[in-house]
Structure 1
């Protein structure tokens, strides 16, 4: 959608309309069709210039505030991260923040009709986007697995707390390294095009690499950025719900509502756009979508669905952190302390007590179901 990574099959094809996103863009990638070089895409560029900038800025601001609050809480109250979920949530917030940093540059490109920040920053921004796309999706997968272990295999989880906490740090390191590996195509091939063309930041492969490389990149994004996380989440949360249905815990219905919200938000935000990417990969080999008007409608739909997928970075703090009573308690306490910090040394310190100092209700202990479900 954003003409970030236009993967094209030949170096010569960049002389065509630089926003030729033929059927569907990928989370940053707009792909060209060499047999539709003369389709006028000006209406698509106009739609993009009006639609993407305000929405990207809104996502960046709202998501930035939410994820900064998560990091702020952990740095102030949880310096010693107690559970695997804590470690994953902190890394997820950092991944979302780094992803959101890239949006203002893509918004500027959409608004101005070209990339004006240079080839090096084009590579870095494209790679940073992909690193954090993959890391955030893989971290969501890790959170679902951790919740499964803590709730379904409670005894084992309690007996291996220390080992699991150490393991979580190694898992996070592995997630970031894998995400960096999956982002190497952006570092290698992202470019702003030839000097005499309008400079969109896109991926451009040498002629000999052809459509196979394009299909491979799309396949990796769909499989690692959606299919794997979805399959793991579906399995883990279905087993968790079955387990909760057989318990008499008074908060099990709230727990199931949280799980349902997590799964629905993930599917609604990610499935439509990944469906677009699958069609795009198929079109790379079959080239069946040849009508210009149909292509332009598909381009615009892809832009809308890509923005919907980006909104998940705004939802993560609310789905995984702010729903937790302990987390909300810490946030309110921290805000209360900041607001009540006395400027007069004689001010009665009792007036600055936390409004929730005695209410720390949870389903189980910090390392149990309550923590795993962020309840």
Structure 2
């Protein structure tokens, strides 16, 4: 299973994907009758499930995410002197990454209902966009964690690098996007349009046929380790030390704004963990197929669809966290709304000179800067 809209298949070795390699006792069949066909597992109702539930969820995520993240980007670029800290740069990049991914959801919504009718090139491009979003988001959150670690735990080093940190953040963002693009190359290489027996097509990953599915195992292992578990370990270490340091500090109150970052990281990891757990199962199945029971395969299919929807929701949750958890972001949003209302009432639509200048979303104190979204 991958983040490409195709159903999760527990056996992971369908005839069309691995022709000439390890045979599978069960293959996808969306056109079978009410009973199982010989050598096949009837998963027609899985396609019906996708058509009924995935498309509405995708459109809901698309609308909420597009409005929310556009608002975040607009606030950043409309209020001058906003990008004053490393975390400002990272959070803006995070919103841009989410907007990039949200543009692909209409394609997946259509795929869930009528199948993939956009060709192989769009299949590869749209499939890769989510991976780029996922990796860049994970790496950006890791960068934020390291930045907060240096700012709060390594206070002296943070002060010495204060003038250079903003430049470092831009270099780090460039490296993050480059690495995310590199890790997404398998989607550009292996993305294919596969036609099922009922005539519908789907965008899926078709790996090279080789002994023991080594290509698939290598790709999944690299993406799971580099894109999820390694960044997760870095974040757990950084925030564990940060929390320990803040609990010992007398000025813990002024670091309460870190709750925004904690919330963003927690929600992202929580939304991605089920999907990455199923990726581990898929890699294990590619190495040694043990799940062949049809009912179990179908349950994994459904679990994969639910986990995929949950993974996609992260693209619309960050702006909600900023509004409900972040104090200054909420204040900025209200100020911008009042300014826009004033412009409209005075016939000055499009004039943004009235938007007040505000300090950065990061408030640099004399000792350690604390996030105060």
Aligned match of 1:154: 155
Counterpart residue number, 2:304:
302
Unpaired runs of 5+ in structure 1?
Answer: 21-35, 347-351
Q: CA RMSD in A?
A: 3.4
SS in 2 for 1:94: helix
TM-score, length of structure 1 as denominator length: 0.82
Return the alpha-carbon distance in structure 2 between the equivalents of residues 38 and 215 of structure 1: 24
Which secondary structure does the structure 2 equivalent of 1:206 belong to? coil
Superposed displacement of residue 322, structure 1: 6.6
Comparing 262-271 with 42-51, which one deviates more in the overlay? 262-271
Shift of 1:180: 0.8
Cα distance in structure 2, aligned partners of 1:90 and 1:361 = 12
Q: Relative to structure 1, is the Cα distance of residues 301 and 160 closer, same or farther in structure 2, using a 3 angstrom cutoff?
A: same
Stretches of structure 2 lacking an aligned partner (at least 5 in a row): 32-37
Which deviations, in whole Å up to 9, do the C-alpha atoms of 1:227-275 show, x marking residues without a partner?
1221111111111111111122262583464455345323421222211
Higher deviation after alignment, 245-254 or 165-174? 245-254
Residue 6 of structure 2 is aligned to residue 3 of structure 1? yes
Partner of 1:62: 64
Alpha-carbon distance in 2 for matches of 1:56, 1:293:
27
8 Å CA contact 1:89–1:321 kept in 2: the answer is no
**CA–CA distance in structure 2, aligned partners of residues 164 and 330 of structure 1:** 24
Q: Output aligned runs, 1:258-297, within 5 Å.
A: 258=260, 260-297=262-299
Which stretch of structure 1 is more off in the superposition, 298-307 or 152-161? 152-161
Which position in structure 2 is the counterpart of 1:77? Answer: 79
2:8–2:305 contact (8 Å) kept in structure 1: no
1:365 paired residue number: 364
Q: Deviations over 1:81-129 (max 9, x none)?
A: 21100110111100011111111111110111x2011111111111112
TM-score by length of 2: 0.83
Superposed CA offset, 1:301-356 (max 9, x none) = 1211121122122222344687443332222211111111165489xxxxx988xx
How big is the shift at 1:364?
5.6
Q: 1:59 to 1:10 in 2, by over 3 A?
A: same
Q: 1:195 to 1:277 in 2, by over 3 A?
A: closer
- Structure 2 distance, partners of 1:275, 1:64, is 28
Task: Classify the secondary structure of the residue corresponding to 1:200.
Answer: strand
Deviation at 1:45, TM superposition (A): 1.1
- The separation in 2 between residues aligned to 1:187 and 1:342, in whole angstroms, is 46
Query: For residues 11-56 of structure 1, what are the alpha-carbon distances to aligned partners after superposition, in whole Å with 9 as ceiling and x for unaligned?
Result: 4799953779xxxxxxxxxxxxxxx961111121111111211111
